[in-house]
Structure 1
């Protein structure tokens, strides 16, 4: 039996705020209709504010998660683990992360930043930078932002391209806020590489495996000009 505290308690909600998994924002009502995020924005009087909303969400999510990766922690920040606190106007205000079962810890990176790895073992501990990057980038950008962009663009490819540029800009700013170490430069190069490794859930189910399967797809962040992390 697993007992979990309500995310609402951890988020310390203020009057008018609500919290929900990011994945819920892409849910459509029974009988079809627009995704929840579009309905919320329309109800708030901002039916065309998808770009502004995504920019605000990206500025909340990307910098702290890239900073964690830099220091040796790679969360599986997909839309079920990452929860967003919305104010009364559906604007993103804070984030809550839950479920540490799939987090990856790099003892080497942690030690270089003055931290000891937690006394855990198994798959949680991994110094391979490719594993760390895949865990964070594949879930955060491949799943979480992929779902949000799809919901906000709603089959409009031009809008989708514009929204991905917003995400890429936020990722570039987050990179700029990190020290110009070799590890950070390598992380940044992988983030904007031509391909992004994403979890192949359908393939995993067809094969009946209990381990993660990943596959490379064209990276929607790769179009902007390449930029280096600077201090």
Structure 2
């Protein structure tokens, strides 16, 4: 399970500290083995709840890739099916199962050193982040990182954080408010500290973006880029 959120102005991922060998004490992505009678989705939801205390209905969960290298697990041949989950910021999760601690970690720091995460989880995390970036271009899933009602500025900050790039505010506002079914006016304005109050929006019914939002390739000032 690659659980991603925008937290403290950074893209962060949920990691657990392994309580059992192999890789005792190392950070890892939450996950586990299938139990008798389970399908893949049921196992993913169970592992998420057992190791983090998060329920599946709190997040948007999507299967995105399988991993079957013969030497990826020292215990023997293991094939893993990876899921990516997108969610707004939540409190620190509760560890359980094979994990003795669970916490949020900035993605950029984890991807700088392939040795930080156990197994081949560095590759899985890297693939999941790229998958999430692509999804934000072609789907409306960016709203999943936002609260139920949000401003266009908050939505733009999600794109800038996940993509690691700076977007033109006016162009972004025009594109997302004109995209059919992307945003729905909430009929209210955000609280203000004295400046102009921004309109609030909710996620619309659309699931795909036409046309897609182009992902910029220049870096946001001060942002670290993952390898």
Q: Same fold (TM over 0.5)?
A: no
Give the strand-richer structure, 1 or 2: 2
Could you tell me the TM-score, scaled by structure 1's length? 0.29
Could you tell me the TM-score, scaled by structure 2's length? 0.29
Give the helix-richer structure, 1 or 2: 1
